[in-house]
């Protein structure tokens, strides 16, 4: 059984979506005074000052918002992870984001499984059972790869895994470990963005290196997983 994370079916649509989002953000940035560079810097400093004044309360609010966004399938996990690096720094930001994402995903899995699993298990039960049985062989590895490579939307992985024969504790632990590398990189990106206080700081070596790592690491993980599964198939 060959494991492959194919990009072709969603490649061009995903890139077009990124370009569209980038265009909208740039248009808002340059046309709206609220999103001006100076206002964003002021907002960043105000948020950090609030965290210094109320550190524990800020962490609780951030974790609660993160978990709720994951729970109701709002696709802002990456943005919140980067934001955690800006506000809390590398270590605390990584811990908060990683734990919040894992808890939110686990709660999401529990609710989806509770409400929808009986329906899907009865719908074309033979085909569903056959797929569930084949999932048992590589299920945890599939989950680990999906969390590391970030090809599939975060909430779709939660929904799909809720319909598969995976234990909740296994889901939590594998998700936690799988998300750790990219969470660390996104939080580090936030710490780098925190150093930007003027237009001259935007194109620094740290930002270029960080963006390059974020762009290359998912493809590196994809290559590693495909190579490992190809060797396993041959053996």
**CA 48 – CA 43 distance, rounded (Å):** 9
Provide CB contacts within 8 A for 90, sequence distance 6+. 184, 187, 188, 191
pLDDT in tens, the chain (235 residues): 444 444 444 444 444 555 555 555 555 555 555 456 566 677 788 888 888 999 999 999 999 999 999 988 888 888 899 899 999 999 999 999 999 999 999 999 998 888 877 776 666 566 666 666 666 766 788 788 888 877 778 888 888 888 888 889 999 999 999 999 889 988 988 888 887 776 666 666 767 776 777 767 767 766 766 666 665 555 5
The alpha helices in the chain, defined as continuous H runs, are: 8-31, 37-53, 55-71, 77-88, 90-122, 125-149, 154-162, 168-193, 205-234
The Cα 102–Cα 176 span in angstroms is 6
0.85 surpassed by pTM: no
Instruction: Say how far apart CA 58 and CA 219 lie, in whole Å.
Output: 35
Residue 127 is predicted with a pLDDT of 61
The residue to which tokens 């998912």 are assigned: 218
pLDDT of residue 7: 43
Q: From CA 183, how far away is CA 82, in angstroms rounded?
A: 8
Predicted pLDDT at 45: 84
Q: Quick check: 191 and 90 in contact, CB under 8 A?
A: yes
The domain ranges of the chain are: 34-234
Q: How far apart are the first and last CA of the chain?
A: 11
């Amino acid at each position: 059984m060959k494991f492959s994370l194919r990009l072709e079916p969603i490649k061009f649509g995903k890139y077009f979506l990124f370009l569209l989002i980038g265009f909208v953000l740039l248009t808002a940035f340059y046309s709206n005074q609220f999103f001006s560079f100076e206002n964003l810097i002021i907002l960043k400093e105000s948020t950090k000052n609030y965290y210094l004044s109320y550190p524990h309360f800020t962490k609780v609010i951030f974790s609660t918002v993160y978990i709720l966004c994951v729970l109701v399938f709002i696709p802002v996990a990456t943005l919140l992870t980067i934001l955690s690096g800006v506000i809390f720094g590398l270590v605390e930001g990584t811990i908060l984001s990683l734990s919040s994402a894992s808890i939110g995903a686990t709660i999401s899995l529990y609710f989806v499984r509770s409400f929808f699993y009986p329906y899907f298990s009865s719908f074309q039960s033979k085909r569903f059972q056959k797929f569930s049985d084949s999932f048992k062989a590589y299920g945890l590895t599939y989950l680990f790869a999906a969390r590391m490579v970030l090809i599939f939307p975060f909430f779709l992985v939660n929904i799909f895994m809720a319909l598969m024969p995976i234990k909740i504790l296994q889901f939590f632990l594998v998700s936690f470990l799988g998300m750790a590398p990219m969470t660390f990189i996104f939080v580090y990106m936030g710490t780098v963005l925190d150093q930007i206080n003027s237009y001259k700081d935007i194109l620094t070596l740290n930002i270029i290196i960080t963006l390059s790592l974020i762009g290359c690491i998912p493809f590196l993980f994809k290559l590693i997983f495909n190579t490992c599964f190809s060797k396993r198939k041959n053996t």
